[in-house]
Structure 1
Amino acid sequence: MPVAPQSHPKGLYFIFVTGMSERFSYYGMRAIFTLYLINALMLDKEFASAIYGNYTGLVYLTPLIGGYVADRYIGMRRSIFWGALLMVLGQFLMFFSALNFENVELAKWLMYGGLGSLIFGNGFFKPNLSSIVGRLYEPGDKRLDSAYTIFYMGVNFGAFMAPLLCGYLGDTGNPADFKWGFLAAAITMVLSLVFYAAKNDRYLVAPNGEAIGIIPAQKAESRNAEGTGDKPKQKLNVWQLALWIAGGVVLFFLFLKGFGGDVIGAVIYSACIVVPGFVISDPSLTKIERHRILVIYIIAFFVIFFWAAFEQAGISLTYFAEEQTNRNVLGWTMPASWFQSFNAVFVVLLAPLFSTLWIKLGQKNRDPASPTKQAIGLFLLSLGYLLIAIGVKNVAPGVKVSMLWLTGLYFIHTMGELTLSPIGLSMVNKLSPVRFASLLMGVWYLSMATANKFAGTLSSLYPEAGKTKMFLGFEISTLFDFFMIFVVMSVFASVVLFVLSKTLQKLMHGIR
């Protein structure tokens, strides 16, 4: 009986470095982005928050496009390359925007061009880099959860370093210095592109030695079907396609009216319904494949609640860090933007422990199924918000509390993130039919697009003097009220997912 390999393939560490560099670029730009909008372009907070929410929402929407194009036309490797190239362009446009910040109109158009390039570049890069991790292993390999945790550690190492360096260079109090933070993000993206282009042929190989990601997944599956004599897969019925497009248009206008003319919100929310329906109605799917895809959809729905709360880090929790957190460290005031590195450094420290934990539990056949892990992640998220709610209870506006409350929140949230996010990536990879691997990874990121848009809506409830804010009939007048929204929302989602866990495991047909 062959012994299962214990070490990971070298390709995993190649992807580790590639993803780390790209995430440095993304989080470095993000760390100073809203500060640039407010302090250099002199936009008001409401407009700046809308731009931020639309940007982060669209960043997670475009993987649908990148996943579809990769699966059907150009393959994962080329998608990653062209995505990285677009992101290089986007980061340099952000640099030129900051270079010309005194000419506000020019700076705005350069910024919009940069954001557009970053959004579409991310769409081609992100889902395919995540999907290609799973192709490094044989189906059913118990190291896969561990592999995605290691991959996630690399992503977060870049996310940890980026706010520190880009914030140090760009967030100096002088609007003219923002360009240096954006330039650092641009240079890092160039290095990521060069490294990937130079080494992908060497390291992106399957366990049998075959190259990964060159042939589009659907073409590769068709060739395999011909070679084994299997019946060729049916093509999508044109009427079925037209029906989903029509449904998408109807939903778009309904959401547009319901959300007061928010075009981007209408696009994201309608896509969140139409695209999953389009995929699962494909006539080539077997009953088991449909069941497994349905599991992805159900868990993705619950993940929306996780990320809507978690992504407050870049919005309301940053307001809290700046306005009501004592950031004095031995006479030095730490920049509020540096708190965005806390989550990432905790991921780097804890990811090896979680990776080892999943391997040990797998060896003893005690590894929890993916839905159970997701529910645990949601419960930990609620505990983080409960901690900070306790910390701000009865605290008057303007009074600053110890940074230990915010630090504790990020620590607990990181444990929840490590239980939910890399395991979610692994689950999508394990449950997806090969021909839909990148597209379904895009559907997974679509839930995060919806969450980011929803996060902006929830962040608008942050208490402000002289303003009455309501949520589902409840008045939000204090920070305690505000943080309890996330406690109740996430613990409710966790309990429901725990209840559904056994049913979801049956629908996974033997995959854990």
Structure 2
Amino acid sequence: MHPTPVDIHDSPPHLEATSASHPRGLYLLFATEMWERFSYYGMRAVLVLFLIDAMRMDKAFASKFYGGYTSLIYLTPLIGAYISDRYWGNRRSILTGGLLMALGQFTLFFSASNYGSIQDHPLSHWLLYLGLGAMIVGNGFFKPNISSMVGTLYRPDDKRKDAAYTIFYLGINLGSLIGNTITSTVGDTGRPNDFRWAFLACGLAMTLGTVIFNWGKGRYLHTPDGRPVGETPAGSTLVNGLFALLPVLLVLVLGILYLDSAKLPVIAPLLGLAVVGIALLIFTDKSLTASDLQGVLVIFVVSFFVVFFWAAFEQAPASLTFFAKDSMDRTIFGHELPPSLFQNLNAFFVVTGAPIMALVWTALGKRGLEPPSPVKMALGLALLAVGYLVMCFGVNNLQPGVKVSMFFLVAMYFFHSYGELFLSPIGLSLVNKLAPAKFASLLMGVWFLANAGANYLAGYMSSLYPDPTSTAPKPVLLGFHIDNLYDFFLIFVVSAAVAAAILLVISPKLIAIMKAREVEPQM
């Protein structure tokens, strides 16, 4: 499915409400999110390579540093959502987040522009931290707010809402596809000095997305009956005062990122405390019924299994890019492709596969054969395991100096992308259905926390990558010696397969709770 281009002009709100087409505000949010995802995924595609080739970090340290950065990316939306709900509103939060992320990308551009003496230049390292810190804080305000605005454009009973989120989801992946292609082409050239052009492109994309949102927010972001959405909450008294909080958040984020990268782990305990705190807050609330609490328990259970999925899935920007760079034949038609470009396969398979899966679920649903959500998620984990099993076949008994065919990586991304379609949108929908209204936003935060924990774990797992060019001792995980690439990929086959099997076994219990709460009436 691809959004149809629309001629954007002002029109009376009542015409949009009666039209069978989607509100024009959806396409404004689509465009804003597309450019933001261009910025995020475009930068992500080359970040680890920049850390290794330009900043001269070793692969293990760069992997952990990247894991700390991405985990904080998913942690700060808890703060941004809280401030937005109570003080700023969606519009102000999105604009603030967009400007901060653009500033962060331009800061990385200046960091990368010092190449030549970059590894000995303290300013480049400080600019690296400052740029990433600005993007972490900015994402905290941007990410949770733009997604929540989509649903506010429709009436609660509007059947177009699911299709709207599908269009919006495709915008995310379209932005990733475009951004990754451009940054891999201009930045991942084999010349470390060129990484700056990737960051510059991402900064321009983020600026464009923010400008588009600011231009259209007053015109198109309203309910079907014409009321504006996302404005500052009535009675808010800290609208301007909270801007003083931004430097404090930036310093706090920079401190956490610096301490964690300096081998003093602070992010993992922080994530653990957040989960425990949210659980205590919800499960000690006397206003919730037993049925409510059972639904919350299901959310915590599925979020736990999501960690296993994303920790393996998010090897793409780090260990799988190492593999593409060092151990894979990337030559096609006499031209060697940049290793970061292969991350684009996920976005391509999602964009082309989402409509197919929508048709499959619809067809199965009409026949009463559609699997319940926990089973779909277990199948997603199983597809993840299959993808890494393909990689095991590709690297089994690999001799030194021999390059692996790119077929194996392409096949792996195919299985992983369809696994994502089985798990990610299904799990997100499940959280929305099961969460008690009182804690709907907070429980969405649990989903973000699962992603934060998974990305942190992904960075640690990537640090175990057995670098064929390194003379350091081979890594060990829980007594298992990772001597080669086969051993490394086998870890993800086993972990994903075991998680899939356990989730499948406990699915009947989860389904029974869901039936009791009437969130899946087809069962």
Give the TM-score normalised by structure 2. 0.83
Tell whether the 8 Å contact from 2:90 to 2:145 is kept in structure 1 after alignment. yes
Structure 2, unmatched stretches of 5+, are 1-17, 237-258
| Structure 1 position 416 matched with structure 2 position 419 | yes
Deviation at 1:141, TM superposition (A): 6.0
Q: Distance in 2 between matches of 1:198 and 1:455?
A: 38
Once the two structures are superposed, residues 74-103 of structure 1 have per-residue CA deviations (whole angstroms, 9 ceiling, x without a partner) of: 233332222112111211111121223445
Q: Distance in 1 between matches of 2:273 and 2:399?
A: 41
Question: 1:89 matched to which residue of 2?
Answer: 103
Tell whether the 8 Å contact from 1:143 to 1:359 is kept in structure 2 after alignment. no
Once the two structures are superposed, residues 349-396 of structure 1 have per-residue CA deviations (whole angstroms, 9 ceiling, x without a partner) of: 112222333444455555433222211211111111111111211112
Question: Which amino acid is the alignment partner of residue 519 of structure 2?
Answer: I
Question: Which amino acid is the alignment partner of residue 318 of structure 2?
Answer: I
Tell whether the 8 Å contact from 1:315 to 1:459 is kept in structure 2 after alignment. yes
Tell whether the 8 Å contact from 1:50 to 1:456 is kept in structure 2 after alignment. yes
| Structure 1 position 463 matched with structure 2 position 466 | yes
Deviation at 1:507, TM superposition (A): 2.8
- Provide closer, same or farther for how the CA distance between residues 344 and 54 of structure 1 changes in structure 2, counting only shifts above 3 A: same
Partner SS state of residue 325, structure 1: coil
| Structure 1 position 389 matched with structure 2 position 403 | no
Question: 2:60 matched to which residue of 1?
Answer: 46
Deviation at 1:445, TM superposition (A): 1.2
How many residues of Structure 1 are paired with residues of Structure 2 in the alignment?
A: 472
Question: 1:22 matched to which residue of 2?
Answer: 36
Q: Distance in 2 between matches of 1:358 and 1:216?
A: 39
Q: Distance in 1 between matches of 2:290 and 2:219?
A: 38
| Structure 1 position 182 matched with structure 2 position 196 | no
Partner SS state of residue 313, structure 1: coil
Q: Distance in 2 between matches of 1:323 and 1:499?
A: 39
Partner SS state of residue 312, structure 1: coil
Tell whether the 8 Å contact from 1:342 to 1:407 is kept in structure 2 after alignment. yes
Q: Distance in 2 between matches of 1:204 and 1:288?
A: 36
**Aligned equivalent of 2:142, options 125, 146, 155:** 125
Question: Which amino acid is the alignment partner of residue 60 of structure 1?
Answer: Y
Question: 2:383 matched to which residue of 1?
Answer: 380
Deviation at 1:464, TM superposition (A): 3.7
- Provide closer, same or farther for how the CA distance between residues 306 and 463 of structure 1 changes in structure 2, counting only shifts above 3 A: same
Question: 1:510 matched to which residue of 2?
Answer: 518
Deviation at 1:116, TM superposition (A): 0.7
Question: 1:476 matched to which residue of 2?
Answer: 482
Deviation at 1:286, TM superposition (A): 4.2
Deviation at 1:439, TM superposition (A): 3.1
Give the TM-score normalised by structure 1. 0.84
Question: Which amino acid is the alignment partner of residue 500 of structure 2?
Answer: S
Partner SS state of residue 476, structure 2: strand
Higher deviation after alignment, 173-182 or 489-498 = 173-182
Question: 1:266 matched to which residue of 2?
Answer: 269
Question: 2:457 matched to which residue of 1?
Answer: 454
Task: Give matches, 1:46-85, under 5 Å.
Answer: 46-85=60-99
Deviation at 1:188, TM superposition (A): 0.4
Question: 1:333 matched to which residue of 2?
Answer: 336
- Provide closer, same or farther for how the CA distance between residues 365 and 313 of structure 1 changes in structure 2, counting only shifts above 3 A: same
Task: Give matches, 1:78-477, under 5 Å.
Answer: 78-101=92-115, 102=117, 104-139=121-156, 144-206=161-223, 209-214=226-231, 261-362=264-365, 366-464=369-467, 467-477=473-483
Structure 1, unmatched stretches of 5+, are 220-255
Once the two structures are superposed, residues 180-225 of structure 1 have per-residue CA deviations (whole angstroms, 9 ceiling, x without a partner) of: 1111100100111111122234443445554433365999xxxxxx
Question: 2:7 matched to which residue of 1?
Answer: none
- Provide closer, same or farther for how the CA distance between residues 26 and 409 of structure 1 changes in structure 2, counting only shifts above 3 A: same
Partner SS state of residue 315, structure 2: helix
Q: Distance in 1 between matches of 2:330 and 2:205?
A: 29
Tell whether the 8 Å contact from 1:55 to 1:115 is kept in structure 2 after alignment. yes
Tell whether the 8 Å contact from 2:70 to 2:452 is kept in structure 1 after alignment. yes
Once the two structures are superposed, residues 302-326 of structure 1 have per-residue CA deviations (whole angstroms, 9 ceiling, x without a partner) of: 0000000000111111111111111
Question: 2:9 matched to which residue of 1?
Answer: none
Tell whether the 8 Å contact from 2:389 to 2:489 is kept in structure 1 after alignment. yes
Question: Which amino acid is the alignment partner of residue 169 of structure 1?
Answer: V
Question: Which amino acid is the alignment partner of residue 487 of structure 2?
Answer: D
Q: Distance in 2 between matches of 1:215 and 1:437?
A: 20
Tell whether the 8 Å contact from 2:432 to 2:440 is kept in structure 1 after alignment. yes
- Provide closer, same or farther for how the CA distance between residues 218 and 447 of structure 1 changes in structure 2, counting only shifts above 3 A: farther
Q: Distance in 1 between matches of 2:110 and 2:191?
A: 16
Question: Which amino acid is the alignment partner of residue 276 of structure 2?
Answer: I
Tell whether the 8 Å contact from 1:127 to 1:441 is kept in structure 2 after alignment. no
Partner SS state of residue 314, structure 2: helix
Question: 1:485 matched to which residue of 2?
Answer: 491
Deviation at 1:343, TM superposition (A): 0.8
Question: Which amino acid is the alignment partner of residue 113 of structure 1?
Answer: L
Once the two structures are superposed, residues 235-256 of structure 1 have per-residue CA deviations (whole angstroms, 9 ceiling, x without a partner) of: xxxxxxxxxxxxxxxxxxxxx9
- Provide closer, same or farther for how the CA distance between residues 80 and 368 of structure 1 changes in structure 2, counting only shifts above 3 A: farther
Q: Distance in 2 between matches of 1:5 and 1:381?
A: 41
Once the two structures are superposed, residues 387-435 of structure 1 have per-residue CA deviations (whole angstroms, 9 ceiling, x without a partner) of: 1111211112432111000000001100011111122222223333445
